Structure 1
């Protein structure tokens, strides 16, 4: 079973710290909130400089998909994040401050709670183009163009989540491929 997750169906939700908005693409368990997800994938719009929200016991992968990028200070260490489509990992509970380089950005955010997923199934994030065989449990998000997965055509920010079946991705633009873990009996709703 394939679950379509169109961009047009997402609602903008203010960040915990009020510094931007996020649009959730998918989370596990289904319907989980910010305090009880095992993993969560979203698009975040960062419109102003300021601190990131703290997420205790959460690890993150951030990928800039629009804008010039950010100058981050993560736990006192400076990180220049100015290359689009290059995933960066960091801890969500380390104080992180952001200075935008040249206006707003949009980030693809993948977060997972330490201890809620085994280290063997920590989400993986890659940005690809071209043809790729995907395994079950994969989430695909078109970023800057179109993609097709199992007969479903995706426009920018549309997504699909694969169930147990394999599929082939044809990515005409940059596309995020996120390997996720779901229990074997998890419904895709």
Structure 2
């Protein structure tokens, strides 16, 4: 019963956070792209992202399933597939393609550049992890003060990670995609 209660709370919250993260990440991608064209408008970007949201959601599920199969088969194919298909959401938002076309275009853009894209994502991931770890350690040190304060500090730490690291990572990949797209 206790586990069921936990799952009935955890699963809906996880789904909601995932849907919100997809929206916010898509907003970052669209805003980065629009800023390179000097046509920046939060309202226009939000409307556009919402108009592409079902496509983004379907492509995200397909991306997850493809990389999951690769990871289950062996870890290396999962990493290979994740890197080859990493730009699917950028393609949907910038080139306005559909689910399978976005995966296909990501595959083509990464072709011959796999190690460079892998290196970039590895560097971004290591930096993101190091920053998140540092914030987590800082939060952990401060959390010894009281249990109630501990939860507040944990939430604040997660908020800071989300506020700074996620947009930096996503916008870095957006600029990388725009550069690769030109070539």
* TM-score, structure 2 normalization: 0.25
Which structure is larger by alpha-carbon Rg, 1 or 2? 2
Bigger proportion of residues as helix: 2
* TM-score, structure 1 normalization: 0.24
Bigger proportion of residues as strand: 1
